Amino acid sequence: MRAYDLVLSPTYQFYFVTGALAAVHHERLHRWVVEHPRAVVAALLATAAVHVGVYLHQVPSSGSVFQAYDPLQPSVVPWTVAVTLGLYAAGGVYAARRRPGSRLAAFVDQASIVSFGVFLVHPLFLNTVLGPLLAWGYSSLDPTLSGAIAWGATLALSYAFAAVAVRTPLALPLAGRRRLSTRPHHATGA
């Protein structure tokens, strides 16, 4: 049963319910985030401190980095909620200051097109491709360097895969969205 705890965990149902509640109360949530930026930052800092503290306590006491950073650690839930609020707040600031046609706007537009595909495929690259290469937990690489390589390579590989996948007939199952047109759009006069 332990092999399936990340799949069967009620922790993930918490995120589904929280997301549904946030969607139903989107206007109130948005207003609160916009009106309380200091509270959002304070939540990020406080939950980060607790999360890092739990990790630093767990590594020597459990002798396992895996156990110390298990997604089912109680400190993960408040941390991920605070991170989600922080990302939402940052997105709101970006949206308010967005300059259409800028390089940043073009990058964000493309990234948003493939973002769900990146989410869908990242475990494949992280666990199946990079995990064995980086020999999780048994590598001679410094853990910080190994983590940075894993993060960067997972993002790059997942992004590249999703960017290609959204332009194929298999876009929906591979990238979670309908296929993008590979032909340029031409304006037609009426």
Query: 136 is written with which tokens?
Result: 């999780």
> Do 129 and 161 touch, CB atoms closer than 8 A?
no
At residue 99, the pLDDT reads 94
User: Distance between CA atoms of 55 and 77, rounded to whole angstroms?
Assistant: 14
94-139, pLDDT tens digit by residue? Answer: 999 999 999 999 999 989 889 988 988 888 888 888 877 777 656 6
Instruction: Look at residue 3 and tell me whether its pLDDT is greater than 90.
Output: no
Query: 53 is written with which tokens?
Result: 């503290």
At residue 50, the pLDDT reads 95
- What Rg value do the Cα atoms of the chain yield, rounded? 20
Instruction: Look at residue 176 and tell me whether its pLDDT is greater than 70.
Output: yes
SS (H, E, C) 12-50: HHHHHHHHHHHHHCHHHHHHHHHHCHHHHHHHHHHHHHH
Instruction: Look at residue 190 and tell me whether its pLDDT is greater than 50.
Output: no
pTM: 0.72
